[in-house]
Structure 1
C-alpha cells in the first residue's frame, strides 16, 4: 500500500504527527473491535518502536505515543496485522462510531455491523470522500443500551421502531438524543450516508470542514429538503432516543446471547502499556471470542464470555490494572496527555487526575471529572459534569455542566489547586441543594 497521504495535524496510521513525547500514530478500529492477534501486534509495535504508551481514544480507537525514528517499521508492522485502511487515502475518513455492544446488546433493534462495513467500504473506495476532514464524524446507533449519546457527530443515524418496522432516524451536527431531522428505511441507510456526504461536499466552502459550518449558512430544513431529492425521507414524530443507565462499560453485563456476558474495564485515564493490552488479549482468547472492543469511554470490553467465567475474567482484568467498578474514583476521571507530552498543555493533567482521584476516593466520591490541559478539550468530545481547565501547573479553573451553556459549561471558581478542587467538590456533594 502506498503511504502517500495528505498533510494534516491529526494523526493517522499512515501519518505520524510529532508531540513533546515523540510521534503519535492513531489506529482506527472498525466498530472499536480488534482481534487478540492484532492487539498483540499493537502492543509489540509500541514496545519495539515507541515508548510503550498506548491510549484508548474517545472515539473507540487506539493511539501509540512516543514513536521514535523507526516510523516506517512501525507502520509496516501495523499494516501487516491488517490494521490499515483499504486504500491509503481513505484512512482519514474511517470515522464511523458504533456502540461497543453492537450485535450483542439485549436492547439493540438491529445489528449495525454489516451496514457499518458497507458504509466504511464506500467512504474508503469513493475518491471524492477523501476530501472530508479527518474530524468529520459519523455515528450509527442500533438502539443499544451501551451507546455514547453525548458526542456530537456531523451525521448520526439511530434505529427506532415504527408500526412494526425498524427505521433509521437521522440528524445533522448533533447527537442521537436531539430531535431527528427525518428518517429512512433500514435498507436505505447506506444511500442516506452517501447522499449526505455528497451534498455536504457540494455545498461546503474550502474552510467549512464540518457539518455545523455549512448549517451556519443554511437552515437544517433547507439541507434536508435538498437531501429528500436524493433519498426517500419521512418525518419522525413522537420518538426520542431512550437513555439507559450509565456505567455499562464496566463490569459484567448480560448479552442478547443466552448465558453469555461482556466484561468491561477502564485503563486508568485511558492509558495502557503493552503488558496490559497483551494480557487483555490473552483473556479474550481464553474466555471470549479472541476479540476486544474499545469504547468511547476509553475503556475495553471482552465480548462473548460464558457467564460462569465472568468473575474470573473480572479478577484477572483487575490484576492487569484495569478498573472494573464505577465506585472507583479513578474510573470516572478523564484527562488529556497534559504538559508531559503536549506542548499546549499547561499542567500535568494525568498526574493531577491521579492525585484528585485519591482525594475523592478517600471520602467516597466517584464523580465524572474531566481535566483538560488547554481549551481544545482533546480528551472529551462531550461536556463533562465537572471540567477542570488548566491555567498554570497544578492550578485549574472549575466549570460545571449547565443546560444551554456552551464550552465547558458554567464557570464556578478560578485558579484552584487540586486540594482546593477536592474540598469544593466534597462540600458540593454534601450540600442538600445537590441531593
Structure 2
C-alpha cells in the first residue's frame, strides 16, 4: 500500500478546524437525495462547512468525534463503496456535462463506470496512491483540460473510426499523445496502464511523473500489451481547446434542455445552499446535480424556458452565476484558519481583494497559503503566494518558468496586490 494523507470517505484526516471527509463522486454526479444527505451530515457531525474540490468532489470540514456515524450515513446514501481500499482509488474525472454536451464525440459515462468498477473491486489496484488520477475526456466543449493526471484519454477520429488518444503525467490541453487505441479497447487500455505502473513503480513512487523520471514514456508504452497506433496522425494530433463558459446557461445536446452552471464562492457551500440546489434539481431538472472542477454546482436537464429562473434561484442561494461577480474569478485554499501550513487567512483575504478589483478584471487569481497549491491543480494566470498574514508574493503564469510562473513582486499587501493586478493588461493575465 502506498501511504497517503489524503482524506477519503473512510479516511477522515485531521486539520486545524476538525476532520475532513472527501466524498469521491462518480463523474462529479450525485442525486438530489444524496446532496441532502451530505448537507445533513455536515450539520449533524461537523460545523456545516462543505467544499467543492477542483476535481468535482465534495468535502465535509470541521468533523467532530463521531466518525463512524458520519461514514455510515454517507454510505447509506450510496456515496461510496463499503470497502475503504476501494474508495481511495476512485479518482476519475469527466466533463461535468458528460453525455449532454453538443460537441462531445462520445458519452464517457459507460466507460467511466467500467473503469470505476475495476478500480473498486480489483485488489491489486488498491495498491495505488489515493492521489493517482485518470481523466476520461469525451471531446466536450465544457471540460477542464489543464489539470495534470497520471493517465489521460481523449477522443479523435482516425479513418472514420473513433479512437482514444492517451498521455501520461500530463493533460490534454498541453501534451501530445503517446499513442491511441480503438474506443472499444479503452477499458483494456486503462487497466493495462495501471498494471504496468504497479509492475514498475517502487512503493515510494506514488505518481506517474515519479516513475517517468526513471523510465521513459516510450519504454513504458512499449510494455503495454494493447494494440495501438503511434504514427504521425496520432502523435501530431492536439485536443481542440474547450471554449464554453462554466457559469450560466449551457444548451444541451438533448432538444429543449439546458444545463445551468454556478460556482460555490471560494469553493465553499453551506447546507442551505446545497439543499436549495437539490430542490431546484428535483423541481426543475432530472433530480441530479453535477459538481464541477471549477468548484461549482451544475444542474442538468433544465427546460430551456426555465433555465434563467433556475439560474436566478441559484443566485438567491448565494451561488455565483456570472463571471462579472467579484468572487467568480478568485480561488483560495483553506488558509491558516483550517490548515497548519497556511501562512495567511486566504479565504478572508480573497473576499477583501475582490472588493478592490475593477469589475470584470483581472483574470483568475489564486491565493495559496503555501507552496502546495491545494486549491488549484493547474497554474492560474496570477498567483498570490502567502508569506505572512496579509502579505503575498505575486506570480504571473509563464510557460518558461516552473511552479507558479514568473515572480512579479514580493511581500505585497492586499492593497498593493490589487493595484498591480488591476494595472496588468487583460492580455497579459488571460493568455
> Shared topology, TM-score over 0.5?
yes
1:253 partnered with 2:250: yes
Contact 1:330 1:366 in 2 (8 A): no
Q: How far off is 1:249 after superposition?
A: 1.4
Q: Which residue in 1 is equivalent to 2:140?
A: 144
Q: Which residue in 1 is equivalent to 2:95?
A: 99
Equivalence map 1:101-140=2 (5 Å) = 101-140=97-136
Equivalence map 1:234-273=2 (5 Å) = 234-235=229-230, 236-245=234-243, 248-273=245-270
Aligned length: 427
Q: Deviations over 1:242-274 (max 9, x none)?
A: 01325x210001100011100011110010000
Q: Which residue in 1 is equivalent to 2:377?
A: 381
Q: Deviations over 1:210-230 (max 9, x none)?
A: 111111111111111111xx1
Match of 2:202 among 191, 201, 205: 205
1:323 partnered with 2:320: yes
What's the TM-score once normalised by structure 2's chain length? 0.96
Q: How far off is 1:411 after superposition?
A: 0.7
Structure 1 unaligned regions, length at least 5: none
What's the TM-score once normalised by structure 1's chain length? 0.96
Contact 2:2 2:128 in 1 (8 A): no
1:233 partnered with 2:231: no
Equivalence map 1:10-89=2 (5 Å) = 10-85=6-81, 87-89=83-85
Q: Deviations over 1:272-311 (max 9, x none)?
A: 0000000000000011110000011101100000100011
Any runs of at least 4 consecutive aligned residues in structure 1 with deviations exceeding 4 A, and if so which? 430-435
Cα RMSD of the aligned pairs, angstroms, is 1.6
Q: Which residue in 2 is equivalent to 1:302?
A: 299
Q: Which residue in 2 is equivalent to 1:191?
A: 188
Q: Distance in 2 between matches of 1:7 and 1:433?
A: 38
Q: How far off is 1:237 after superposition?
A: 4.4
Structure 2 unaligned regions, length at least 5: none
Q: Distance in 2 between matches of 1:262 and 1:431?
A: 30
Q: 1:143 to 1:326 in 2, by over 3 A?
A: same
Q: How far off is 1:394 after superposition?
A: 0.4
Q: 1:288 to 1:434 in 2, by over 3 A?
A: closer
State the secondary structure of the residue aligned to 1:339: coil
Contact 1:327 1:366 in 2 (8 A): no
State the secondary structure of the residue aligned to 1:334: strand
